[in-house]
Amino acid sequence: MSLLSPTARSLDADGYLLLPAFAEPHAHLDKAFLAERVENPTGDLMGAILAMDVARHTITLDDTIERAERAARLLAANGCTAIRTHVDLTLAARLTSVAALIEVRERLRDLVEIQVVALCAWPSIGDLGADQRALVREAVDLGIDVIGGCPHLESDPAAANDNLLTLAADAGLPIDMMETSFFLSRQTLVPTNQAAGMALWREKLFAAMSRNAASATAFFKIPTNRVVELGTRIEL
């Protein structure tokens, strides 16, 4: 019995394999091609954030639309039919980048599906975050698809999570945090009574001090659900 409906068409793939189209789950179209003119000397996340702050005055609505559309068309030309893109939402830039990506979303609606995630800057909690929260609501009114943020960079990540979840629930929108995974090492020190090396009591004291030290997760305030720990046992 054929599983095809009477109206279905059968195409000869000539040996090729048919697969679903690609989807880009985490883009930053507002920053597309900026490496050509915005330098990040340190090469890390905070360096990129600081570099963007310095260059923010050079980034216009039309400039962002041109770069974002160029990047989205390249993705589509290479088989990507769905893009979820974060876009910076800062008090310095206000809604410029958000408006640009919403424009690109509408221009390319027949070519590729684009979801615009407002990436809420920090602080977004407490009295200091009142203006930032108001800006998120303005972005909702403008037509964003998803609310996002960086709670791990806030002074109180748990409170920031609650705040972003509340904003999303009030707007009836999904939420997408910056889902970075951190791979950390965990070392377990094992005192041994070997002839060479420290005295046993020193080894036990050293191991106890190591256990009492603050973990990297706590020290850097990394959300626990973003951490992967790889452990090793070291004999002293």
Query: Are 52 and 135 members of one domain?
Result: yes
Q: What's the distance, Cα to Cα, between the start and end of the chain in Å?
A: 70
Which has the higher per-residue pLDDT, 165 or 195?
165
Query: Are 167 and 186 members of one domain?
Result: no
pLDDT at residue 29 is higher than 70 = yes
Query: Are 88 and 139 members of one domain?
Result: yes
- Cis? peptide before 123, omega within 30° of 0: yes
Query: Are 122 and 186 members of one domain?
Result: no
Rounded to whole angstroms, the Cα distance separating 55 from 90 reads 13
pLDDT at residue 208 is higher than 60 = yes
Rounded to whole angstroms, the Cα distance separating 163 from 177 reads 12
pLDDT tens, residue by residue, 213-222: 777 777 766 6
Which has the higher per-residue pLDDT, 140 or 215?
140
- Give the single-character DSSP code of 98: H
234, containing H or E segment: strand 227-235
Phi, psi of 41 (to 5 degrees): -60, -35
pLDDT tens, residue by residue, 82-119: 999 999 999 999 999 999 999 999 999 999 999 999 99
pLDDT score for 179: 53
Q: Is residue 15 part of a domain?
A: no
pLDDT score for 1: 44
pLDDT score for 222: 67
Across 47-68, average pLDDT: 92
Domain that holds residue 213: 182-235
pLDDT score for 73: 98
pLDDT at residue 159 is higher than 70 = yes
CATH number, domain of 32, equals: 3.20.20.140
The tokens for 198 are 């420290």
The pLDDT > 70 percentage for the chain reads 91
Query: Are 48 and 158 members of one domain?
Result: yes
- Give the single-character DSSP code of 180: -
Scanning 10-95, the segments in alpha helix (DSSP H) are 45-55, 61-77
